Structures are given as C-alpha cells and as structure tokens.
C-alpha cells in the first residue's frame, strides 16, 4: 500500500537536501515501550516509513505480565524482546538515541537527538510519564496531563501523545499499546483519506511467524 504521494510526504521530500537534517521519515516515534512500538508496528506495516528513538528505560523491564490479554504469564523484558522482533520484521528503524528537542515546522516536525536531527511528517510521543517534549512542542495540557482526542492527537496537528503523559494513573501496558495503535490508525486514515483498518486474512498469516505465531 503506497501512501507516498500524500501532500505531507511530498513536502517532506523537499527537505531531503537540507544540510542540517540528517534523517527523513514519515513517522517519528519518541519512546520504544509498548505504546511507541505498537504505533510503529501499525504505521510501518501499512507503508509509512517509521523511525523509533528510544533510551530503553521502559517500565516493562520492571514488570511481569499476568494481565496482558493473550499472554498468560511473561516477563516484561521478554515481552519487549518479542515486540522488538515483531516491529523489526516489518522494517521499523529503531535508534537508541535520546530525543532532546522537538519542534513543529510548516510541514511536519523536526526532532533533535543526542546525535542528529530528523524530519518527519507525523510525531508520536510515547515517552511514558515524561511530558517534557510535549511541553516544549507547545501541546495543550489539562492539569498535568497532555490533552488528546480519542485518536490520541494533541492540540498540535499531526502530533500524538500516549500512555502515562495523557492518563492519570491508568498505567497498564495494554492501554499504552492501544494508545499507540489508535494514533497509528488515525495517521493512516488521514493519509488514506478514509477510515483505515489493518485487517489481515488467513492467506498471509504464516509469512512472518509461522502458522501459529511461532
Ligand atoms: C514495577 C512495575 C510493575 C508493572 N507491572 C505491570 C503489569 O503487571 N501489567 C501492566 O500492564 N503494566 C505494568 N506496569 C506498567 C507498564 O510497564 C507500563 O504501563 C508500560 O510500560 C507503559 O508503556 P509506555 O510505552 O507508555 O511507556 P514506557 O514503557 O515507560 O516506555 C517509554 C520509553 O520512552 C523512552 N524515552 C523516554 N524519554 C525519551 C527521550 N527523550 N528520547 C528517547 N526515548 C525516551 C524510555 O526510555 C522508555 O523506553 C508496571 C510498571 C512498573 C513500574
């Protein structure tokens, strides 16, 4: 499925020669926990080049899951290992870099990391409880929480927020993963121009993980 002819993506191409920008992507994801990788899985799987920046401080390394639907009992780090393998299999680019700044441009977003700058059309903030980047981007807040709509879009068009920065105490991995998926489907719907669903059919089910997901 090709979304590359979309207006936003066309504009991004005009930035490709800019000397100060060293990386280009359709979707910039900051944070590689359940929220960020869930978002990246959906966007990359459906044709949007997606880059995830992460410092591997996910709370999942402290967790043991007995309450993630479909998983009986699993160590949080083992869950992360599977999720990373899953997004890697779809071609998500993961970079172990801290994002230190983010700003909106006329056509998208620029993020600054410890090593480089990257340009993207959409931004998904998935930094857990850390709201610093949402603040510097100028997202609206209500009390201490980033304001989002049902698709997790913030007051800054094209910028999404997920997880503990938008939720008071509703801190469960499955909720964060759902936030990321909701953001991704909204981005895909915008690019497609109609409500988008990522439904697979049995014929292609075995391609990556085998018949029963092994
Ligand atoms: C002790 C403990 C036990 C838990 N047990 C459970 C449980 O049993 N079941 C359950 O569902 N949940 C549990 N949780 C909660 C669960 O871990 C979180 O809900 C989940 O990890 C949130 O996912 P997230 O993707 O929103 O954020 P996180 O998992 O926190 O991921 C955020 C990621 O963003 C990265 N990051 C932050 N800032 C930057 C930056 N500027 N640049 C780049 N990367 C950045 C961090 O390093 C981190 O990897 C537990 C949490 C704790 C602390």
Across the chain, what does the average pLDDT equal?
89
At the top level of CATH, which class does the domain 7-199 belong to?
Answer: alpha beta
Query: What pLDDT was estimated at residue 79?
Result: 98
**Band of residue 206 on the pLDDT scale cut at 50, 70, 90:** confident
**What pTM did the predictor assign?**
0.90
- Least confident range from 13-22, 28-37, 124-133, 153-162: namely 13-22
Query: What pLDDT was estimated at residue 100?
Result: 97
Q: Which atom of ligand 1 is nearest to the CA of 60?
A: 17
Closest by CA position to 28, among listed 112, 91, 119, 101: 119
Helix ranges (H only) for the chain are 7-13, 34-45, 76-90, 132-137, 173-192, 206-209
Percent of the chain exceeding pLDDT 70 equals 86
Write out the two tokens for 8.
């936003």
Q: Distance from the CA of 44 to the center of ligand 1, in angstroms?
A: 21
Q: Determine contact, residues 129/35, Cβ cutoff 8 Å.
A: no
Query: What pLDDT was estimated at residue 202?
Result: 75
Smallest CA separation from ligand 1 atom 6, residue: 63
pLDDT, average across residues 183-206: 89
3-class secondary structure, 65: strand
Q: Distance from the CA of 59 to the center of ligand 1, in angstroms?
A: 3
Q: What backbone phi and psi angles, to 5 degrees, belong to 122?
A: -130, 155
Closest by CA position to 102, among listed 78, 125, 126: 125
Note the pLDDT tens digit of each residue in 50-72.
Answer: 999 999 999 999 999 999 999 99
Query: What pLDDT was estimated at residue 184?
Result: 98
CA 93 to chain centroid, in Å, comes to: 11
In the chain, what are the domain boundaries? 7-199
Query: What pLDDT was estimated at residue 213?
Result: 59
């Amino acid at each position: 499925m090709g979304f590359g002819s979309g207006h936003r993506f066309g504009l991004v191409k005009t930035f490709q020669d800019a000397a100060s920008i060293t990386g280009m992507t359709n979707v910039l994801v900051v944070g590689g926990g359940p929220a960020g990788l869930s978002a990246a899985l959906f966007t990359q799987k459906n044709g949007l080049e997606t880059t995830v920046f992460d410092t591997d401080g996910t709370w999942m390394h402290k967790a043991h899951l007995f309450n993630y639907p479909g998983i009986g009992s699993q160590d949080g780090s083992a869950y992360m290992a599977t999720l990373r393998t899953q997004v890697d299999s779809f071609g998500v680019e993961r970079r172990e870099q801290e994002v230190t700044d983010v700003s909106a441009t006329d056509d998208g977003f620029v993020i600054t990391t410890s090593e480089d700058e990257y340009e993207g059309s959409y931004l998904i903030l998935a930094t857990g409880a850390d709201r610093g980047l949402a603040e510097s981007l100028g997202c609206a807040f209500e009390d201490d929480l980033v304001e989002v709509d049902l698709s997790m879009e913030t007051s800054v068009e094209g910028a999404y927020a997920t997880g503990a920065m938008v939720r008071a105490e509703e801190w469960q991995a499955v909720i964060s993963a759902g936030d990321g998926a909701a953001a991704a489907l909204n981005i895909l719907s915008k690019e497609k121009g109609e409500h988008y669903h990522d439904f697979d059919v049995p014929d292609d089910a075995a391609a990556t993980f085998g018949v029963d997901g092994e």
